[in-house]
């Protein structure tokens, strides 16, 4: 009951926010400093290849309230850059990217982010991602191909660079790691630890899930996978568990052979997700990578609840925010301006934004 009430409160909250957003000419975001003891996850895209204006493909912005105010991107699929840009976070702070796997709905918008050197990135762009079964299928090869894809773009932008930038914004450092290694720490910096573990997707080696730990706070993001022990192990005890789902699937046996094969080898159904949430017991369970609309929502919740009758549960939507602290996990909605702020990503504008904007509203609070 508490969980249903939380979902209802959340929906009511969103209704309220939408009204506020429509009625006001002003901007809603929250670019204030992230308080110490807080991890904030913003959903840039909650969707899948079934991309649409309401739901961009998978991507997350993760902000950590440490001294460095570290920011991380986890996946940046088709369209997710739109919401990243809309948050107004300066490019200078968006240097660290983690990719779960090299499917377009998880990495296609990297090209737009790569151009960020033009918009204020001054440090090298760092990309973490798995190796492939062969060198040319790994993250390093993908990034090298991306640089080639963007060669004219980079060259032309430098031509009209009148100030003669001499920073490292165009440089790229790829941290490709062996995708076969379980529970591998791939980043340990400023107190933030990111661990990767292999998952199973499309019968092709490479895909991983990630977990971040900082000051006893944690979240796990599954990437795309079928149910695997490695994922459950990684997620165990994490505060927030963002799990890829595909469905609802009323009748697996009624699907075509191809669809069955796709689900069985590559994805987690909402019903399976319920069982995995029950086994891993996160403080907040987030069902992600679903096509969410009025018709699908109830069926998805019903399916997940078969195996996970209790516990806080959210069906992910674009710009949902999960704020983790020692005492709570808060669910919010990030409000972004209806129109672009142009070059507001510049550091100078950022300072002004910090003073003006504190209006990220609290839609609901998921209790412990």
Ligand X SMILES: *[C@@H]1O[C@H](CO)[C@@H](O)[C@H](O)[C@H]1NC(C)=O
Taking the complex as a whole, the smallest distance from the CB of residue 201 to ligand X amounts, in Å, to 15
Integer-rounded Cα radius of gyration of the chain: 20
Helix ranges (DSSP H) in the chain: 2-23, 80-87, 104-107, 110-114, 139-149, 151-159, 229-235, 257-266, 270-280, 294-307, 347-356
Q: Which of 151, 156, 185, 252 touches ligand X by CB under 6 A?
A: 252
Q: Which is nearer to Zn ion, 224 or 317 (CB)?
A: 224
Binding partner selected for residue 105 from ligand X, Zn ion, none, CB under the kind-specific 5 to 8 Å limit: Zn ion
Task: Count other C-beta atoms under 10 Å from residue 102's C-beta.
Answer: 21
Show the site string, 183-222: x = touches Zn ion by CB under 5 A, - = not: ----------------------------------------
Q: Which is nearer to Zn ion, 267 or 283 (CB)?
A: 267
Binding partner selected for residue 224 from Zn ion, ligand X, none, CB under the kind-specific 5 to 8 Å limit: Zn ion
* Pairwise CA distance, residues 172 & 38, whole Å: 29
Name which of residues 124 to 153 contact ligand X (CB under 6 A).
Answer: none
Q: What is the 3-state secondary structure (H, E, C) of 190-236?
A: CCEEEEEEECCCCCCCCCEEEEEEECCEEEEECCCCCCCHHHHHHHC
Q: Which of 154, 230, 233, 260 touches ligand X by CB under 6 A?
A: 260
Contact between 257 and ligand X by CB under 6 A: the answer reads yes
Taking the complex as a whole, the smallest distance from the CB of residue 313 to Zn ion amounts, in Å, to 20
Q: Which of 75, 213, 224, 312 touches Zn ion by CB under 5 A?
A: 224
Q: Which is nearer to ligand X, 226 or 334 (CB)?
A: 226
* Pairwise CA distance, residues 337 & 27, whole Å: 5
Structure tokens at 246: 């595909």
* Pairwise CA distance, residues 214 & 217, whole Å: 5
Taking the complex as a whole, the smallest distance from the CB of residue 105 to Zn ion amounts, in Å, to 4
Q: What length is written for the chain? A: 368
- Look at residues 157, 143, 173 and name the one whose alpha carbon lies nearest to residue 76: 143
Piece of 62-70, 102-110, 177-185, 227-235 that binds Zn ion (CB under 5 A):
102-110
Piece of 103-111, 166-174, 304-312, 354-362 that binds Zn ion (CB under 5 A):
103-111
Residues 6+ apart with CB under 8 A from 148: none
Taking the complex as a whole, the smallest distance from the CB of residue 104 to ligand X amounts, in Å, to 24
Taking the complex as a whole, the smallest distance from the CB of residue 262 to ligand X amounts, in Å, to 9
Contact 203, 193 (CB under 8 A): no
Structure tokens at 339: 């129109």
Packed helices 151-159 and 139-149: angle between N→C axes, nearest 10 degrees: 50
Q: Which is nearer to ligand X, 152 or 257 (CB)?
A: 257
Taking the complex as a whole, the smallest distance from the CB of residue 259 to ligand X amounts, in Å, to 8
Piece of 105-113, 138-146, 196-204, 214-222 that binds Zn ion (CB under 5 A):
105-113
Piece of 163-171, 187-195, 254-262, 310-318 that binds ligand X (CB under 6 A):
254-262
Structure tokens at 255: 């699907």
Contact between 275 and ligand X by CB under 6 A: the answer reads no
Q: Which residues bind ligand X (CB under 6 A)?
A: 252, 257, 260-261, 264
Q: Which residues bind Zn ion (CB under 5 A)?
A: 105, 224
């Amino acid at each position: 009951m508490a969980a249903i009430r939380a979902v209802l409160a959340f929906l009511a909250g969103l209704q309220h926010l939408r009204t506020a957003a429509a009625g006001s000419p002003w901007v809603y975001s929250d670019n204030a400093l992230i308080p110490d003891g807080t991890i904030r996850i913003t959903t840039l895209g909650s969707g899948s290849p079934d991309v649409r204006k309401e739901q961009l493909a998978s991507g997350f912005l993760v902000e950590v309230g440490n001294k460095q105010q570290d920011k991380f991107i986890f996946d940046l699929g088709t369209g997710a850059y739109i919401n990243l840009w809309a948050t107004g976070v300066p490019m200078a702070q968006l240097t660290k990217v983690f990719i779960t796997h090299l499917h377009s709905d998880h990495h296609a918008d990297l090209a737009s982010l790569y151009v960020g050197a033009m918009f204020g990135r001054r440090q090298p762009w760092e990309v973490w991602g798995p190796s492939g079964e062969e060198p040319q299928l790994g993250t390093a090869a993908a990034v090298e191909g991306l640089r080639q894809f963007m060669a004219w773009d980079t060259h032309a932008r430098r031509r009209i660079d009148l100030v003669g930038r001499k920073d490292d914004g165009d440089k790229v450092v790829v941290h490709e790691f062996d995708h076969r290694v379980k529970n591998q720490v791939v980043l340990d910096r400023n107190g933030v630890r990111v661990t990767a573990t292999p998952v199973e997707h499309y019968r092709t080696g490479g895909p991983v899930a990630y977990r971040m730990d900082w000051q006893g706070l944690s979240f796990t993001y599954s990437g795309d996978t079928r149910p695997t022990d490695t994922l459950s192990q990684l997620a165990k005890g994490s505060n927030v568990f963002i799990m890829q789902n595909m469905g609802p699937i009323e009748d697996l046996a009624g699907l075509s052979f191809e669809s069955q094969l796709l689900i069985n080898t590559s994805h987690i159904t909402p019903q399976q997700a319920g069982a995995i949430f029950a086994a891993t017991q996160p403080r907040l369970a987030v069902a992600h990578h679903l096509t969410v609309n009025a018709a699908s929502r109830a069926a998805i919740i019903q399916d997940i609840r078969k195996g996970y009758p209790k516990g806080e549960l959210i069906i992910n939507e674009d710009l949902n925010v999960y704020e983790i602290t020692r005492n709570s996990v808060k669910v919010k909605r990030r409000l972004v301006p209806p129109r672009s702020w142009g070059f507001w990503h510049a550091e100078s504008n950022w300072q002004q934004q910090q003073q003006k904007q504190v209006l990220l509203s609290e839609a609901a609070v998921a209790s412990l």
